[in-house]
Amino acid sequence: MKRIFLPTLTLLLVAIGCDNPIRDNAVELDSAELQDLSTGLATDLGLSKSSTNAVNGVLNRHGRGGKHREPGFLWKVAGELAINLSEEEKARLFEKMEEKDIPLFSGTKKQGAKSKGGKKGKNDFGGIIRVLTDEQKTAFKEIMSAYKEKFEAIKSQVKDGTLSKEDSRAQMKALGEAMKVEIDALLTDEQKAQIEQNKSDHEAKRQAYRDSSKMVMIEVLDMTSDQATAFDAANQEARDAAKALFEQAKNGDIDKDTLREGLKNIFTSKNEKMEALFDNDQLEIIKIHKALELRMKKHRGGKGKKGGGKNKRSGRKGNNG
């Protein structure tokens, strides 16, 4: 009897011990992205095993079964971590953001940016390639190869000093337009219509995702209607101002440096206005969301979606706008 009892007792003591791996690993994540996020947080914040399990529980609750790709995921997580993390852990979470002075409300993508070749980024050609026949694809590759050589030749002239940057920009623009004409000539009317329809469908999905994420953000932050209205107004004001600047740059009324500085001022102003809309509790959730979003980018290939969801904070102050 003792031979049976003693091993059983030993296993029981191990199972309830402080450093028992069975207990500490009880909360498992079913996504490599979530596991990477969890590991990064545990390392950066110096989380104990029990705290890591608590974080994993939050990630699991809102992200299991692919839900981490749904609108609102990171907002849901941020809302809970605002309650569950200690002040010291939050401070460590925000360290890198504050060191780099990363704004809470400004996007990380450069709107309207173009590649150095004077043509739009590769993604703009993705919609075209998908509708081409095999024969058209061959012709398309030949066009792209020929123009790549031409763009490289211009860049070489700038580098060796035989062509000014101003003249090179004009030549790059002319080449880009010529390339566009040649590519357009490859397409049938039906293909052009399909490309436009695909773009429209894609943008509709993107907008639906953004709208869903926004609704979750509003719920997590417990935003008032006045806050939501002011938030939208600040966003729209910044978009309109940026659009006007891009139009000026397109028309040659301002140079690249003026455009860059103007955009910086627009989004700095937008960030200041938005920060002023929220109380300290709301800003804390927003900062946690931003920190999580930046970390999640490291673990997502391609078009990782960001978002958030509902989780009202207990004991929160009322929002005053």
Query: Measured between alpha carbons, how far is 34 from 58 in angstroms, rounded to an integer?
Result: 11
Q: What percent of the chain has pLDDT over 90?
A: 58
Is the dihedral angle over the CA atoms 306, 307, 313, 318 positive or is it negative?
positive
283: left (phi over 0), alpha (psi -120 to 50) or beta: alpha
Least confident of 19-23, 64-68, 103-107, 225-229: 19-23
Indicate the pLDDT class of residue 19, thresholds 50, 70 and 90.
Answer: very low
Query: Measured between alpha carbons, how far is 59 from 34 in angstroms, rounded to an integer?
Result: 7
Q: What percent of the chain has pLDDT over 70?
A: 79
Q: What are the pLDDT digits (tens) for 107-156?
A: 544 443 443 333 444 446 778 999 999 999 999 999 999 999 999 999 99
Q: What are the pLDDT digits (tens) for 171-209?
A: 998 999 999 999 999 999 999 999 999 999 999 999 999
SS3 150: helix
Q: What are the pLDDT digits (tens) for 255-270?
A: 889 999 999 999 999 9
How many helical (H) and strand (E) elements, i.e. helices and strands, does the chain have? 13, 0
